[in-house]
A and B are shown apart, each in its own frame.
Chain A
Amino acid sequence: MAFIKILSSLMIVICCSFLGMQAANRYSLRVKELRLLRMAFAHLESEVINYANFLPEAVERAAVLLQGGVKEFFNDFSRRLQQRSGATAAEAWEKALRSWRSHLHITDEDAQILLSFGKVLGVSDRDSQQRYFQIIQSQLKSQEQKAEEACSKYRNMYRSLGVLGGLALAIILL
């Protein structure tokens, strides 16, 4: 009997720690994704401004350097443009973002920034496109700083919370 009690307590502690880790990881993944997005926009900016490549190919090229959910999101957007499935680029951007949103760890605020950038992507001359790219990159940068702060604040907290909460639960149940 005691053996089973110990085993189940151990399970509880492990599970809670795991959940805590996951919650903590969300913060560091968000920082990573925001950084990737900023890199993607810097790359896309050079494709658009310096080479004046058409948007579908420009996005495809920018996606090469990416990874994970951000890469899939960019690839999906490029695919939608190439198939001309959306009436406008903004529509394709929004659809791609909505379908990959759940695979990303960004917050609603981050998503809103991306969404509004989609509305201006490709629709104006080079000068104003450059300004939009600068704006989105500085916005993402400040989001990234916020995310880093949140990350250092909450990551350890959630980790310890997981372990300690698990321990507490085990003790209560014992």
Chain B
Amino acid sequence: MVYSRYPSGIAWKHVILDVLPENIGRIIDGIPQDVAENLEEIRIREARPLIIHGRGKSYYLGPDGELCPSPEKAYYVNHSDIQSILQRVSNYSIYAVEEELRNGYITLKGGYRVGLAGKAVLEGGKIKTLKYISSFNIRICREIIGVADKVIRYIVSGGEVHHTLVLSPPQMGKTTLIRDIARQLSDGFPGFRGVKVGIVDERSEIAGCFQGVPQNNVGLQTDVLDACPKVEGIMMLIRSMSPAVIITDEIGKAEDVEAIEEALNAGIKIITTAHGSDIEEARRRPILSKILDKKIFQRIIVLGNSLGVGTVEKIYDGHTLNNLLDRPVR
């Protein structure tokens, strides 16, 4: 957890301003309070205006952090800004973040992620590293404690955790939801004693580990395999950490199915996510439809934004495919 002198809504400033050069830091610090509190992304691209996103809107930023309606008056990012940011986000140590560059993002303290884009350097057909990095996407994730309250009683019934799949389009709060599910299953809640939870955090998004320590609250009994490929990670957890529940993000590859079946055979409950706006859409993807046909998952939660980002649109019973919700909740 990051302690800072800023109020909780803009706790990100503590970490983010540290990786920005002085001039851009000043601009970001000057963003009006209400926008800063709901900031989601800071987009920094070489020779293009500084842009921020929040609450579904985007704004150009002027030289003093003022919001500009058009790009003409915005601050244009230059080459030395980009170089400085690259050095700062890597802690002046490109050699220490080679793996992160290959994956295209670096995780900062507090679990904030910086996405990078540039020119890929290939070796034997695989990405070796990135060079000429020219775009940064600083994502300000917010853990929302209690966001899983409305779904947790569908996931746990009679002291038993159900295999659960969360389906959602991008940026609808999938990861935020399973993070809080992890916390609640691990810590327990009235009527449910906590269980051991293992997280395979391939993209370092769920727990937001910094040097191995989760920066988000993922529960007292939770072990995190950070930046670990899903299939190997699930196997490792089964062998070594004896979890009751394994939580992982974004399944969709053929080998993911095998790993999940392996976990099922070991009597471990699986909670995972996939891209998709509904079951019908998910069925059109071969791997997902295979998983759905096998009726592995007992609960399928669909997220959307009919009542705003993070709305729980439907919760299906995985066997009967009946919707257990009367209407969407948020």
Contact = CB atoms under 8 A, between A and B. Distances in A.
B192 to A, nearest CB: 41
B96 A88 contact: no
Contact of A54 (B80, B83, B84, B93): B93
A125 B21 CA distance: 23
Most buried by B among A56, A84, A126: A84
A71 to B, nearest CB: 20
Interface string B91-106: 1111110100000000
A122 interface: yes
B217 interface: no
Contacts, number: 53
Contacts of B83: 87-88
B94 A123 contact: yes
Interface in A62-87: 81, 84, 87
Interface residues of B, number: 17
B28 to A, nearest CB: 15
Contact of A84 (B80, B88, B129): B88
Contact of A87 (B80, B90, B98, B129): B80
A122 B95 contact: yes
Given A55-B91, A56-B91, A123-B87, A87 B96 contact: no
B98 A126 contact: yes
B293 interface: no
B18 interface: yes
Contact of A48 (B18, B21, B84, B95): B95
B98 A56 contact: no
Contacts of A48: 93, 95-96
A122 B92 contact: yes
A122 B22 CA distance: 21
Contact of B87 (A49, A88, A126): A88
B95 A88 contact: no
22 contacts: A49-B95, A52-B93, A52-B95, A52-B96, A53-B93, A54-B92, A55-B91, A55-B93, A55-B96, A56-B91, A56-B92, A84-B18, A87-B80, A88-B83, A88-B87, A122-B87, A122-B93, A122-B94, A123-B94, A124-B94, A124-B95, A125-B94
Interface of B: 18, 21-22, 80, 83-84, 87-88, 90-96, 98, 129
> 10 shortest A-B CB distances, which residue pairs?
A87-B84, A89-B92, A54-B91, A55-B92, A55-B93, A126-B95, A52-B96, A54-B93, A122-B92, A129-B95
